[in-house]
């Protein structure tokens, strides 16, 4: 299960942000207006599990690009790889959830995330992010953000169905004269094995603050450990050989 967010119909109402905070009891972040747009959250944080980005463009016509960003629930999730306590786990729906009662606040998951989603809460120390409303989905309900979205920009369902729906939407937009429309995070062959939350964008990913080619940050760990193991064995063998040479009886004249 996952999200398909169609930014072409996002109106920036922030109903998703409010619904997420209300349902999950996420602390308020206040009216932190940035001065450059109507964005008052700035980024995904421990206290903002949905972030509605506003991108002002003059090209030459003025337009707003709006996108409700969220944790991507990666198929190959580096945050899972590095968590030492098992606080992060893969649910039966394929999503990634942090158990706050098990998190010890080590922070390893934060730099591991290729999207910069995971964050520690000030005064708390533990890591927090979107759970894709695991408690709601478990009883057959729609996540709060998708339920609240008035334009169906945020759509929830089985990923295979969402990908088919997204492909049809792209074809429609292209035929309607919107050639810049593209999908982001939908490909199971990408650097994170495909995202559980993917997007239809109207410009390059970087314009929305998304990495153009995300890669699971722990992909090289097995090779690194193998090399470290071989190096350690080489050192042990050299030390053993040195001790063996020192302990052997000397030649008599």
State the Cα angle at 12 between 6 and 17, rounded to 5°.
Answer: 90
CA 171 to chain centre: 26
Query: Which residues touch 1 (CB under 8 Å, ≥6 apart)?
Result: 93, 94, 95, 132, 137, 156, 157, 158, 159, 196
Give residue 227's pLDDT.
Answer: 44
pLDDT of residue 232: 52
| Rounded-to-integer distance, Cα 134 and Cα 96, Å | 9
Q: Which residues share a beta bridge with 210?
A: none
Class of domain 2-75+129-208: alpha beta
Domain map (residue ranges) of the chain:
2-75+129-208
* pLDDT score of 224: 40
Q: Return d(Cα 132, Cα 146) in angstroms, integer.
A: 10
The whole-angstrom separation of Cα 115 and Cα 155 is 21
pTM over 0.85: no
pLDDT tens track, the chain, 253 positions: 999 999 999 999 999 999 999 999 998 875 666 666 678 788 899 999 999 999 888 877 888 899 999 999 999 999 999 999 999 999 999 999 999 999 999 999 999 999 999 999 988 889 999 999 999 999 999 999 999 999 999 999 999 999 999 999 999 999 999 999 999 998 888 878 889 999 999 999 999 999 998 888 875 455 444 444 545 566 666 666 676 666 655 544 4
CB atoms within 10 A of CB 112: 19
DSSP codes, 20-53? HHHHHTPPP------SSSS-SS-S-BTTBSSEEE
Q: Please answer whether residues 149 and 16 qualify as being in contact, where contact means their C-beta atoms are separated by less than 8 angstroms.
A: yes
d(CA 49, CA 129): 6
pLDDT value of residue 39: 81
């Amino acid at each position: 299960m996952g999200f398909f967010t169609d930014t072409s119909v996002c109106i920036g109402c922030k109903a998703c942000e409010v619904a997420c905070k209300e349902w999950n009891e996420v602390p308020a972040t206040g009216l932190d207006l940035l001065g450059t747009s109507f964005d008052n959250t700035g980024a995904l944080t421990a206290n903002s599990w949905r972030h509605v980005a506003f991108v002002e463009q003059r090209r030459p016509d003025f337009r707003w690009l709006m996108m409700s960003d969220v944790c991507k629930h990666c198929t190959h999730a580096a945050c899972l790889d590095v968590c030492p306590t098992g606080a992060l786990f893969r649910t039966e729906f394929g999503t990634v959830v942090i158990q706050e009662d098990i998190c010890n606040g080590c922070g390893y998951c934060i730099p591991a995330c290729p999207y910069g989603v995971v964050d520690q809460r000030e005064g708390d120390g533990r890591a927090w992010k979107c759970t894709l409303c695991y408690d709601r989905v478990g009883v057959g309900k729609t996540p709060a953000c998708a339920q609240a979205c008035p334009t169906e920009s945020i759509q929830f369902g089985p990923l295979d169905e969402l990908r088919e729906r997204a492909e049809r939407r792209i074809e429609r937009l292209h035929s309607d004269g919107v050639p810049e429309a593209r999908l982001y995070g939908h490909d199971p062959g990408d650097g994170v094995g495909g995202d559980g939350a993917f997007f239809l964008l109207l410009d390059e990913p970087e314009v929305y603050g998304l990495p153009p080619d995300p890669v699971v940050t722990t992909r090289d760990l097995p090779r690194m450990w193998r090399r470290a193991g071989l190096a350690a064995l080489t050192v042990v063998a050299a030390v053993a050989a040195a001790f063996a040479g020192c302990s052997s009886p000397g030649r008599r004249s």
